[in-house]
Amino acid sequence: EVHADMHAMAFTPSGKILLGTDGGMYRTEDNTLTWQDIENIPTNQVYRTAYDQQNPDTYWGGLQDNGTTAGNANDINSWERVWGGDGFTMQINPQNSNSYFVSSQYGNIVKITGSNYDYLNYQYADDRTNWDTPYFLSNHDTLLSFYGTYRVYAGDDIGNGNIAIGTISADMTDGPIAPEKYHTISTLSESPIVPGLLFVGTTDGNVWYGQYDIFEPVSWNKIDQFGNDFNVTDVVGSPTDNTTIYVSESAYMANDFSAKIWKSTDMGDSWTSIAGDLPALAIYKILVLPGYDDQIIFVANDAGVYVTKNAGVHWERVGTNLPFVPVLDLVHNVANNELVAATFGRSIQTYSLSNILATNNPQTEARKFGNNVQLSPNPASDLVTISFRKIEMNRTATLVILDLSGKVVHEEKFDGNSTQVRVADWPKGTYPVFIKERHRISRGKLIVQ
């Protein structure tokens, strides 16, 4: 069986036929009676990527013309075909790997629990939806989900496979004006530190934020800074400060190729460009690395992945072996301390963040002790003592503990070389631990059981 979307054919002198498709290259030696897949080149066009927090070595991809798939490079020929169509956003329940959401073009979402498939009717029949319709499970409460058409929906998992769904906004776009299908929500996200604080961007230049409350209507605030009709590609909240927002846009349709990424520290009242020396290409995704005071920011664009280590003053391309290829999505795999990139033409790529963090400051001598955080007991179920080898005894250290979604679950400043944290009420699991002492970052891994 060959892929249904066929694009090229070649005939060899010996009578073999070669066929190029969206599923790879095939060969027949019996005049098309049978076909053989003859290549294993990672050239998938990936829209969105994800990883399973309970199994962090399992990577997921939403692929153009090849559905949703999951697997690992160590077993490259055994990736599972999870769902069909054009694959887009996946959401894996962090507490239950057997429960997850997948989607195909124009926002068709399926919730899969074990062998059960539940189609979710988030939209009414006349809703305008984006080709890459945004939705997500809340990092703060996985029973809550949010979905964007031209308006915003909220879903509340009420048990037994049922999700109560309702609209929580009016039309967030400029309205049903021709061509209607281009006026949709293009990006939808939630603050990593404020539950229910939602951010919305549209294909026609609108940016909104609002605080969701299950008992009260959402009061939406439109940010007037973006009075253009450019495509808003991403809107994200800071993992450090609850009044800081980042926005990226693409203005290709206006023949404007400049990099557009903005930062506001006052909930959108004023904005500063942090494009710095980025190349003149549209930005598709913003990832602000937790635990670094918004200094380390990654962006995905048409040339790959770029990083700033000084909040946007200077940017540099990440890695040396990634081809110049569009990257549409970025995910922080906290457990593996790596960046996961969805490339449009070179499949899913990963990059170890130790390469970035090890060079975040030239004073590498202060970091030579490496991962020297000590945790006792570990695993822990109540009180855990966290200590590290302190270099500058007169300086205050900052402790940051994340869950595997990247959410900060504990942060404190302390003197000396140790502190104690009570984890009795924390969910069981693995928690990356970081201690920052001036220019030095130490790390460890806490297991709560």
CATH number of the structural domain spanning residue 191: 2.130.10.10
Per-residue pLDDT of 75-98, as tens digits, reads 877 888 899 999 999 999 988 888
Q: What is the mean pLDDT of residues 343-371?
A: 66
> How far, in Å, CA of 154 to CA of 163, rounded?
9
pLDDT of residue 172: 96
pLDDT per residue as tens digits for the range 147-206: 999 999 998 875 655 677 889 999 999 998 877 778 999 999 999 999 999 999 999 999
Contact 272, 262 (CB under 8 A): yes
For 194-217, the pLDDT digits (tens) are 999 999 999 999 999 999 988 889
The boundaries of the domain holding residue 281 are 46-357
Domain boundary among 357, 382, 409: 357
Same domain, 334 and 405: no
The answer, as to whether pTM is greater than 0.75, is: yes
Are 395 and 312 within one domain? Answer: no
- The reply to whether 175 and 250 lie within a common domain is yes
pLDDT at 333 over 90: yes
**23 and 68 inside one domain:** no
Q: Which residues lie below 8 Å from residue 271, measured CB to CB, with a gap of 6+?
A: 225, 247, 262, 263, 264
Q: Are residues 270 and 328 in the same domain?
A: yes
**What's the average model confidence in pLDDT over 226-233?**
85
pLDDT in tens, 277-299: 999 999 999 999 998 999 999 99
Q: Choose the final residue of a domain: 336, 357, 378.
A: 357
Which segments of 278-406 does DSSP mark as H helices, in order? 354-357
pLDDT value for 392: 63
Q: Is residue 13 part of a domain?
A: yes
What is the pLDDT, as a whole number, of residue 124? Answer: 57
Q: Are both 11 and 155 inside the same structural domain?
A: no
Does 116 share its domain with 193? yes
Number of structural domains the chain divides into: 3
> Per the domain annotation, does 1 fall within a domain?
no
Q: 390 versus 3: which is more confidently predicted?
A: 3
pLDDT by residue (tens digit) across 264-275?
999 999 999 999
Distance CA 309, CA 296 (A): 4
274 & 290 share domain: yes
Give the pLDDT confidence of 317-329 residue by residue, as tens digits: 999 999 999 999 9
Query: Is 179 inside any structural domain?
Result: yes
Indicate whether 19 and 89 sit together in one domain. no
The pLDDT, as a whole number, for residue 368 is 33
131 vs 332: CA distance, rounded Å: 24
Give me the amino acid identity at 83.
W
What single DSSP character describes residue 344? B
How many CB atoms lie under 10 A from the CB of residue 285?
22
Q: Please tell me what DSSP assigns to residue 276.
A: T
* pLDDT of 360 strictly over 50: no
Q: Note whether 221 and 295 are same-domain residues.
A: yes
CATH of the domain at 444: 2.60.40.3080
Q: Check whether residue 113 and residue 192 sit in a common domain.
A: yes
Residues 88 and 128 in one domain: yes
pLDDT tens column, 395-409 = 788 898 988 877 889
